[in-house]
Structure 1
Amino acid sequence: MNVQDVLQSARTANLRLVRFQYCDNGGVIRGKATHASRLPTRISEGIGQTLAMGAWTGVETLAAVERMGPVGEFRLIPDPQTFSILPYVPNTASMMCDMITLDGQPWAADPRAFLKRMLARLARQGRRCEASVEHEFYFARQEMGKYVPADRSLCYSTNGLDEQAEVMDAVLAALEAQGILIELFHTELGPSQQELSIHHSEALRAADTVCLVRETVRGVARKFDLLATFAPKPFIDQAGSGAHIHFSLWEGKRNLFYDPTQPGTLSQLGRHFIGGVLHHLRGLLALSCGSVNSYSRLLPHFWSSAYIAWGFDNREGAIRVPSTFWGREGDSLNLELKCADHSGNPYLALGGLLAAGLDGVERRLEPGEPVAIDPGNFSDAEREQRGIRRLPTTLSEALDALEQDQVLLDALGPLLSAAYLAVKRNEVDFFKDKSPEEIAAQHFYKF
């Protein structure tokens, strides 16, 4: 869709507001809205936003970052291809935005610009990345001032499908109306926990779609007096919710991760990509699991991944190589990053994933042997022998690893990396004296 298509659609739909949205370093989707009458000029000149928002945290505080205070602004410039009329609010549409400086250049602290830089690096090699996300979330309602699961459904059970059939039908209809292609839906392990899989697309669109899905699910749930929460661990005694990233690299119509002559049909390039991700995973985790609450989810034997390991159809590995589909093996082979959730900004998570994997490809890093059992079932000595390390167990530990990972820091750039680290250190400090229950409660509504 181009600018003229957007303006015509806005007139035809008799819109009143168009939201200019972005996902910030705290993982929160924010933005401003223009009145539709001003859209013809706003779509090119943007909406002003203070530079301080680059240092705004997920706990609604301002982290100390040089050049991100009360002086100066950037402009939110919308991407017309993300235009979507929102079915769950009246007379309103949204677009995801780039952050542009007053001299017309991408702002170095823009997470979306970071992903675009990584994709441009791929494009210079004649390659592209396709990606999709499995969205896990809970439906909840308030009882006596506390959030509780909306039902007591069982894992993969049809009674769970029945319990939330009306709200999920409305969710799916709203997503379809916005052009989002849906692959699968089922109930998950926790009570009233859902999982929704979206069809793959080019990586930038996939990240945009992550934001749109989250907004849509939450918006539709409100109409049923429910809260949909994508928090990583909303209920301490129940399963956590991930945002598993599926991805593949392509050259034209050729899937570069597929090679029928290799074990598991995984190409040597795919192995090197895995090697890069595993090598940088401790720092990458700070981007893909971006909240204090995330680390209550990443536990051994919880199918969320707790160790730096990979395997074929191993759902306890940080990287899983899923089974291919019969008759379209070459098209369907992809990799899955398990240790990712919705508190991580999707542009940072995907961009960091590419930076790590491409470093592995360039340096021909080997991932080691695939693990065929739950890595948590090895003894400590066996894990040490196999080079299987524990993932960071706190956000602070992951941030320490990110600060020591020059490849990821160079990819992010000095301004974005400084802002992100400051924001997350601020959040860590905010929660340092809070109990797990208090932490979960504070994340419940945020994501």
Structure 2
Amino acid sequence: MDRHEREGRALEAARLTRELAERGVVAVALPWVDNSGVVRAKSVPIDRLEHAAAWGVGASPVFDAFTPDDTIVAGRYAGGPVGDLRLIPDLTRLTELAAQPGWAWAPVDRYTQGGDLHPQDARGVVRRAVAHLAEERLTAKAAIEIEWVVGRDGDDFAPATRGPAYGYTRVVEKSDYLVELLTALRHQGVRVEQIHPEYAPGQFELSVTAEDPLGAADTSVLVRETIRAVTDRHGMRVSFSPMVIAGGTGSGGHIHLSLWRDGRNLHSGGDGPCGLSATAGAFAAGILEHLPGLLAVGAASVASYLRLVPGAWSAPFQACGHENRETALRLVTGSAGEEERAANLEVKVLDLSANPYLCVAGLLFAGLAGVRAGATLSGLVDVDPNSLSQDDRDRLGIARLPASLTDATDAFEADAMLTDAFGTELAATIVDVRRAEIARFAAATDEEIAAGLRWAF
């Protein structure tokens, strides 16, 4: 970052500071997401935003080595007390927070003191994946679904709703809560497409409009923290954990992706299954091939594998299907007449223990590897894979995805494409942090895992 860029950032921050101060903003939160999927933050008073925008705010690189329970891992490239980074707020995403009066929010990029992007900066990894797509004249749109449960205050979980799964009763019970949430998101510029009760007790889901990959990851963090703030204001507690009660129904964080070239959605109007173009089919095939290793990034907690079990609509099989919610990849075509806008690929095995930036980047890297290899998508699966015999699954090439974080981490470490794409330092730290969480819960029961991570995310 040179002097000219710093001066330009300072001028823009000064302008924004005046506007925000006039509206009563007194502090700006500067969040980032660590390798365990936890949102960490520093903050500055509004009159320090100009300096922060130009020169950053100091932060230790140790946060790369945090586990969900705040244990610090002595990793190969992170975890020690030495060193410092600079948190540089992205002023294009500076947002006044409707559910936190007096506060604004701006996600940060993490730089070294010498002005270089930190090799473990997650937003930078997304930008790099997007740049690789552009080399093939491709762009992508993405959206991350948010599932959460609301409980009564306390360490144990007791659902804060009584209504049935998907029941309108829940909307009646929590109508003021949902109105405040939607109002806050609208004031913050988030375009919500739908919100509804989900299956598990106290569970809701919210979907937003697709946008560029970095914007989609930013928005997912903003939405989650807005849900957290509104939930707290209503005297409840929120969990985004994959599983709050062992044996229950988990919460996911499905990602929708579509690939575009020259303004055309490549998931529609092609000669492949469900209208996929050859490029979009290769993109899907690439994701499917690398999905076992991607789970170490996108289903990043030991609690994730309490959710990823057959028969729970969590799609734990390495397969693709048209509108099949029990295959890991679901081809969404949309209603007749809107396919060109609506067609996309949903990746269903992911959850909100993931760092959304790393998750989006990993999917783009994997899909692009498929495009460059000219991969082809195997036959679509039109039944629940769990209803098939093992012999039939073997014949159709349907494999069970990793059933534990250990297996997923092993698959990630063995996937040279993924580890090369993430870079030596980041890939090693992901493995180090995952191994530490695995060791932490090695002797734990399912109930102890669910309880230990219930409020971590």
Could you tell me the TM-score, scaled by structure 2's length?
A: 0.95
Which residue matches 2:3?
Answer: none
Give yes or no for the alignment of 1:118 onto 2:129: yes
Runs of 4+ in 1 over 3 A off after TM superposition: 1-5, 260-263
Which residue matches 1:16?
Answer: 26
Letter of the 1:150 counterpart: A
Give yes or no for the alignment of 1:75 onto 2:75: no
Give yes or no for the alignment of 1:387 onto 2:406: no
Aligned equivalent of 1:232, options 217, 242, 253: 242
1:130-279 maps to which residues of 2 (within 5 A)? 130-142=141-153, 146-279=156-289
**CA offset at residue 112 of structure 1?**
1.4
Which residue matches 1:398?
Answer: 408
**CA offset at residue 9 of structure 1?**
2.8
Which residue matches 2:450?
Answer: 440
Contact 1:51-1:67 at 8 Å conserved across structures: no
1:37-116 maps to which residues of 2 (within 5 A)? 37-68=47-78, 69-116=80-127
Aligned equivalent of 2:336, options 309, 316, 326: 326
Contact 1:88-1:220 at 8 Å conserved across structures: yes
Deviations 1:8-61 (A, max 9, x none): 332222322111110000100001001112111111111111121221221211
Contact 1:153-1:190 at 8 Å conserved across structures: no
Deviations 1:59-78 (A, max 9, x none): 21111224531111111111
Give yes or no for the alignment of 1:285 onto 2:282: no
Which residue matches 2:138?
Answer: 127
Letter of the 2:113 counterpart: L
Letter of the 1:176 counterpart: R
**CA offset at residue 262 of structure 1?**
3.7
**CA offset at residue 176 of structure 1?**
0.7
Contact 1:396-1:425 at 8 Å conserved across structures: yes
Q: Give percent identity, aligned residues only.
A: 37
Give yes or no for the alignment of 1:353 onto 2:375: no
CA distance in 1, matches of 2:383, 2:15: 52
CA distance in 2, matches of 1:80, 1:410: 30
CA distance in 2, matches of 1:165, 1:273: 41
1:300-311 maps to which residues of 2 (within 5 A)? 300-311=310-321
Contact 2:95-2:106 at 8 Å conserved across structures: yes
CA distance in 1, matches of 2:153, 2:188: 29
Which residue matches 1:342?
Answer: 352
Contact 1:152-1:160 at 8 Å conserved across structures: yes
CA distance in 2, matches of 1:88, 1:134: 20
Which residue matches 2:427?
Answer: 417
**CA offset at residue 367 of structure 1?**
2.5
Letter of the 1:169 counterpart: V
Contact 2:246-2:450 at 8 Å conserved across structures: yes
CA distance in 2, matches of 1:16, 1:78: 16
Deviations 1:110-167 (A, max 9, x none): 1111111101111233221100012111111136x52211112222211111111111
CA distance in 1, matches of 2:454, 2:36: 14
Contact 2:247-2:306 at 8 Å conserved across structures: no
Closer, same or farther in 2 for the Cα pair 1:386/1:203, shift >3 Å? same
Of 17-26 and 260-269, the range deviating more from structure 2 = 260-269
Contact 2:266-2:276 at 8 Å conserved across structures: no
CA distance in 2, matches of 1:194, 1:250: 31
Letter of the 1:196 counterpart: L
Which residue matches 2:6?
Answer: none
Contact 2:320-2:330 at 8 Å conserved across structures: yes
Deviations 1:267-313 (A, max 9, x none): 11121111111111100011111101000001111111111000100
Secondary structure, in 3 states, of the residue corresponding to 2:152?
strand
**CA offset at residue 5 of structure 1?**
4.9
**CA offset at residue 3 of structure 1?**
3.5
CA distance in 2, matches of 1:254, 1:180: 24
Of 82-91 and 182-191, the range deviating more from structure 2 = 82-91
Could you tell me the TM-score, scaled by structure 1's length?
A: 0.97
Contact 2:153-2:235 at 8 Å conserved across structures: no
Which residue matches 2:5?
Answer: none
RMSD, matched Cα: 1.5
Of 266-275 and 187-196, the range deviating more from structure 2 = 266-275
Contact 2:77-2:428 at 8 Å conserved across structures: no
Contact 1:136-1:195 at 8 Å conserved across structures: yes
* Structure 2: 5+ residue stretches without partners: 1-8
Secondary structure, in 3 states, of the residue corresponding to 1:316?
coil
CA distance in 1, matches of 2:360, 2:156: 34
Closer, same or farther in 2 for the Cα pair 1:258/1:381, shift >3 Å? same
Contact 2:69-2:453 at 8 Å conserved across structures: no
CA distance in 2, matches of 1:90, 1:169: 17
CA distance in 1, matches of 2:379, 2:137: 29
Contact 1:305-1:338 at 8 Å conserved across structures: yes
**CA offset at residue 204 of structure 1?**
0.3
